[in-house]
Structure 1
Amino acid sequence: MKNKYGLIILAVSFNLAFSQVGINTPNPRGILHTDGQKDNPATGASFTPAQQINDVVITGAGRIGVGTHDPAVKVDARNSGNGAVGFGTSLLTAVAADEGAVRYNTGMEYSNGNEWLPLLTAQPATNKVIVIAAKTDNTVKLVSPSALVTTALQNRVSNYLVGWTKAFESNSGSTFNASIGIFTAPRNGVYVASFTTDLAPLAINYTADPLNPIQIEAIWQLYDNTTGVLATNIVNTVKCVNTMSSNSNGNIDAGSNCTASFYMTSGQRLMPYIWFNLNGLNTASFSLNNSGGYNNLTIVEQ
């Protein structure tokens, strides 16, 4: 009987002695504790930052501390030294990696479960693109960007806005081609684009086609990263519609505005245009209100 009790006490003592494992330290601070430089004190719970910085600890809560004995999250590398975390590349699809996965791929990316997206905050603020431009004439391209350039707008036709004057552009100053009204993304990212237009006062009177309401549309067209501006090159279109009264007693301003966010890959292009259905005249005889700075464009990289 005494031998049995002795074996039980020995087994309990062994369990207590080895419930925590220390490598290079007799004083482990977790279930597993590695002291890289063997510089921790043999007893006590007081450790300097310099002593912790070369340690790796796995706690009873299943947390890993690298350079810290008190990890607050599942993996914690915060310390007073070089506490960076390195990420490698991955060929996994975003679906296979699942949401929350992080990788390095010419920049930091994360998976939302469907696609890899860039961690935009990693871009230095000094590299962000900002474009501010104004339009002070009536130069447009009708029907499509490759069509005729004219100095008057046309009813019920796509009027691509060209002939801008840049007020400001950060960095290289070459992302926005003011003469043709095309912005080209210098890199992958989210860009917020906004433009406003105001037609010179005109009489609104259009009753011939009840299926086409009286309206003015401000539209952003996103093209691919080739040189084409055909329908096959269109990636996305965002349309902002402003409806108007069916008839006016006198001349009034018809304004439009469109603000949209786009995720653009390097080389993709944005171009603004307007389409309106304001009266029965389909001749190229409409003008922008070029007094007072009504026609403006802003593009900001996020």
Structure 2
Amino acid sequence: MRKNIFLMIVLLSFTHMFSQIGIQTPNPIGILHIDGQKDNPVTGTTFTPAQQSNDVIITNTGRVGAGTLSPAVKMDVRNSGNGAIGFGTSTLTAAAADEGAVRYNNGVEYSNGNEWLPLLTAQPATNKVIVIASKTNNNVKLITPAAVTTTTGLQNRQSNYLVSWTKAFESNSGTSFNATTGVFTAPHNGVYVASFTTDLSSLAINYTVDALNPIQIEAIWQLYDNTAGLTTANIVNTVKCVNTMSSNSIGNIDAGSNCTASFYMTAGQRLMPYIWFNLNNSDVANFSLNNTGGYNNLTIAEQ
């Protein structure tokens, strides 16, 4: 009986003795406490940031701290030093890894339980492209953007390609948008949101009613391939925004248009805006934009 009692006392003492394990420190403050540089104080619970930076701890709540002795979450590597987590590659399926898993496979990805999805963890090394420009003149290329002649004045029932912009701002290289030609060239693959607005000076909207040619103004984005041509054969995509209006105006009114569209562009592809309108009986190049109120603007932003 005495032997049994003695054995129980020894076992309890052993359990108590090793309830906290310290490696390279006689002063562990967690279930497991490793002092990498062996620079912790022998007693007490006050540790400098430098002393904590080389420590690893497992607390009695099952939290792990690397570089911190007060982990706030299950795995905490926040400290005043070089706190970072490295993820390796994995060939596990998203289902096998289960939702919440993270890996690095040519980029950081996370599992939602069904598929691996990219995780945006940082901004790109270069700024994304943003272009802001305004148009304060009536210069256009008629019929085709490759026309040799620049015409001063917009024409009814013609394609009016908007050239001669004034660039207000452009990020990145500053050379993606050619303000003279009105052509934006994608510097690299990506999604670009393009928007432009125009406002014609007051005019009488009174074109003869024609069911096949309704009274309207169209704002159009034309996407071209990555060659040098600006012909029909080079067109990749066209987005048209149409504004219709009453067949007759009591007095002169402004005819406005706008078009916003998203394009996936590969490097070298080009984007250009133009308008087409059918507003009255005159078919000569004598229409003007309203250049006095800042109504004619263009914005292109990479997403």
Instruction: State whether TM-score is above 0.5.
Output: yes
**Which residue does the alignment assign to 2:163?**
162
Distance 1:170 1:209, change over 3 A: same
Deviations 1:15-70 (A, max 9, x none): 44444433322333334332110111233211111100111223344443221111
Alignment of 1:211-290 (within 5 A): 214-221=215-222, 234=236, 240-259=241-260, 267=268, 269-276=270-277, 278=279, 283=283, 285=285, 287-290=287-290
Paired residue for 1:197?
198
CA offset digits 1:168-208 (Å, max 9, x no partner): 43453311122332223445666554322112333334642
Residue 94 of structure 1 contacts residue 116 of structure 1 at CA under 8 Å; is this kept in 2? Answer: no
Q: 2:210 matched to which residue of 1? A: 208
Residues 8-17 or 291-300, more deviating: 8-17
Q: Deviations over 1:68-126 (max 9, x none)?
A: 111233443332223345567x5879978877847585xx76669675365564557xx
Q: Which residue of 1 aligns with 2:178?
A: 177
- Superposed, 1:105-116 pairs within 5 Å as 116=118
Which residue in the other structure is 1:71 paired with?
A: 71
Question: Rg: which structure is higher?
Answer: 2
What is the match of residue 47 of structure 1? 47
2: distance between equivalents of 1:120 and 1:222?
A: 30
Matched residue, 2:297: 296
C-alpha distance 199-56 of structure 1, shift in aligned 2 (>3 A): same
Contact 2:142 2:158 in 1 (8 A): no
Q: What TM-score do the two structures reach when normalised by structure 2?
A: 0.70
Is the alpha carbon distance of 1:95 and 1:189 closer, same or farther for their aligned partners in structure 2, counting shifts above 3 Å? Answer: farther
- Distance between the aligned counterparts of 1:234 and 1:91, measured in 2? 38
Measure, in 2, the Cα distance between the counterparts of 1:92 and 1:184: 38
RMSD (Å) for aligned C-alpha atoms: 4.4
Are the equivalent residues in 2 in contact too, given 1:203–1:252 (CA < 8 A)? yes
SS across alignment from 2:180: coil
Distance in 2, matches of 1:169 and 1:4, equals: 85
> Residue 142 of structure 2 contacts residue 161 of structure 2 at CA under 8 Å; is this kept in 1?
yes
Asked whether the 8 Å contact 2:90–2:104 carries over to 1, the reply is: no
Gaps of 5+ in 1: none
1:66–1:222 Cα change, 3 Å: farther
Distance 2:122 2:55 in 1: 32
CA contact (8 A) 2:68 2:76 kept: yes
- Structure 1 CA distance, aligned partners of 2:101 and 2:200? 48
- State whether residues 118 and 189 of structure 1, in contact with CA within 8 Å, keep that contact through their aligned partners in structure 2: no
Matched, 1:27 2:27: yes
Q: How far off its partner does 1:158 sit? A: 5.5
Structure 1 pair 188–247 and aligned structure 2 pair: CA distance change class (3 A): same
Q: Aligned pair in 2 of structure 1 residues 169, 232: CA closer, same or farther (>3 Å)?
A: closer
Distance 1:161 1:115 in 2: 41
Asked if 2 retains the 8 angstrom alpha-carbon contact of 1:137 and 1:290, the reply is no
SS at match of 2:139: coil
Alpha-carbon distance in structure 2 between the residues aligned to 1:183 and 1:99: 41
**Do the aligned partners of residues 267 and 74 (structure 1) sit closer, same or farther apart at CA in structure 2, a change above 3 Å counting?**
farther
SS in 1 for 2:257: strand
- TM-score with structure 1 setting the length: 0.70
Preserved contact between residue 188 and residue 267 of structure 2 (Cα < 8 Å):
yes
Q: Contact (CA 8 Å) 2:197, 2:296: kept in 1 or not? A: yes
Structure 2 counterpart of 1:39, which letter? D
What's the offset of the Cα at 1:280?
7.2
